[in-house]
Copies of this chain bind each other. A is one copy, B any other.
Amino acid sequence: MTFPRELHRKPHIDTDLLTRLMACDTIETLTSEVQGASHRLGFEHWIYGALMPVTPTRAEEFVINGYPDEWRKHYLESGYTMADPTVTYARGHVIPSLWDDLASRNYRGVNSDQAKLIFTEARSFGLAKGLSVPLHGLGCLFGIMSYAASDPKHPILESTIHAEAVLLATYVHQAASLLINRGASEKIRPLTPRERECLKWAAEGKSGWEIAHVLKISERTTVFHLMNACQKLGVTNRQQAVAKALVLGLLEI
C-alpha cells in the first residue's frame, strides 16, 4: 500500500502537544494546555467533567473548563447539570455528538424541550455550535468533554476537527484521571489473590460453604479471607465488599 500525498496532513493536535498534556501535574497547567489545544481546533470554549464513584452509589464530580464564567455561574445556579442533554447523552453513548443533533433528536433520557432551552441560553453566552465527546473508563462512572465555538459555521464535521477533538478528549481524560488518582484520599490496601478469589465467588452468588469447596479450603478460611477483604475495603458486609471491589475494578475477570 502506498501513502498518497493527501494522507500526510499535519495534525492540529500533534504529539508534542499530547506529551505536554500528559505531563501536567496540576489542575492549572492542565487547564492552560487544554485551553491552547482547543483554540487550535477553533473552539473558544471547552469543558471537561467526570463522575468518579466513591461508593457504589455515590460519585464525586471533577470539572475543569474554559467556559465563560457567567455561563458557568448561570448553569450551576439553574441546576442544569442533571438536565443537561450533553451529560445525559454522554452517560449512555461513546460516539461524539453535535449539540444540534442532541437538540433535535430524541435520545433516551434526553428531554428535548429542556435541551433546546439550555442550548438556546448557551448560545446567548457565546456557545453557538458545540460538540460533546463521551468518555468512559479509568474508573470513572462517565466523563464528558465538550467544545464550543461562537461561530455557528464552525466546520466541525466537514473537517478533521471532529476526529482531533475526540483524540484530544481521550488525552484530557487520561491526564485528569492521573491528577484525580494522585489526590485520592482513600488508599485501599491491595487485596491478596485469595481474597480476590473469595470475593469473586461471592459475587457469583456462592455461599461460604460453596466457596470453601471450590477452593478446597475450609469454610472457616473463606470467612477469614472475606473478613479481611471487608476490613481492607472498609466495608461492613459481603454485599458492600463485592460492590466496592467491583466499582473500584479490583476484581478483574
Residues of chain A whose beta carbon lies under 8 Å from any beta carbon of chain B:
1, 3, 7-15, 18, 22, 39, 42, 44, 51, 53, 55-59, 91, 93-96, 134-138, 141-142, 149-151, 153-155, 157-164, 166-167, 170-171, 173-174, 177, 200-205, 207, 235-240, 242-243, 246-247, 251-253
- A118–B59 Cα distance when bound, in Å, is 40
Chain B residues in 8 Å Cβ range of A135: 94
**Which one, B1, B22, B51, B151, contacts A1 given CB within 8 A?**
B151
A10 with B158: in contact, given A1-B42, A136-B137, A170-B94 (CB under 8 Å)? yes
Q: Are B163 and A56 in contact (CB under 8 A)?
A: no
Closest B residue, CB atoms, query A157: B15
Please list the 4 inter-chain residue pairs (A to B) with the smallest Cβ-Cβ separation, ordered nearest first: A136-B137, A205-B240, A163-B167, A203-B243
Q: Which residues of B contact A177 (CB under 8 A)?
A: 94
Whether A239 contacts B242 by the Cβ 8 Å rule is: yes
Q: Look across to chain B and name the residue whose beta carbon is closest to the beta carbon of A207.
A: B237
